[in-house]
Amino acid sequence: MPPDRRHPGDPREWLDRARSNLSLARARPPGVLLEDLCFEAQQSAEKAVKALLLSRGIPFPFIHDLARLLSLLEQAGEKIPDTVRRAAELTPYAVMTRYPGLAEPVTEDRYGEALAIAETVLAWVDGALP
């Protein structure tokens, strides 16, 4: 059952969306390309980071660059764990792998890494939100 919907300015709404994207990334329905599942993992991490930015009152651009979004948190004094910094590795999944021929096909190993990174980011944000 989906969670209750909240105001778009509520960080919990963004975190719920991040959880939804991660659920899609984990699901692996038949016929779905690993590239598309990695896109969902990237979206999960992106929305989780934006939830934390919202909770800290930090304005953010609507971009997919996770390194840049994390740097906004860092500039505001947030300590970013190295394991969370790996989120930058997910940024290419936001665009490059969504279209045929712009990137190499995703391997099982890369898919597993993308999931692990997204899970790490989501857990970190979840623990950092009030």
| pLDDT tens track for 46-99 | 999 999 999 999 999 999 999 999 999 999 999 999 999 999 999 999 988 777
Containing structural domain, residue 29 = 11-128
| pLDDT tens track for 5-58 | 888 889 999 999 999 999 999 999 999 999 999 999 999 999 999 999 999 999
Does 4 fall in a domain? no
Does 107 fall in a domain? yes
Does 74 fall in a domain? yes
Does 5 fall in a domain? no
Tell me, rounded to whole angstroms, the distance of Cα 79 from its chain centroid: 18
Among the listed residues 7, 79, 82, 72, the one whose alpha carbon sits nearest the alpha carbon of residue 46: 72
**Structure confidence at residue 97 (pLDDT):** 77
Among the listed residues 113, 109, 128, the one whose alpha carbon sits nearest the alpha carbon of residue 41: 113
- Count of domains in the chain? 1
Does 6 fall in a domain? no
Does 2 fall in a domain? no
Angstrom distance (rounded) from CA 50 to CA 62: 9
How much of the chain exceeds pLDDT 70, in percent?
A: 98
Q: How many C-beta atoms lie closer than 10 Å to residue 67's C-beta?
A: 12
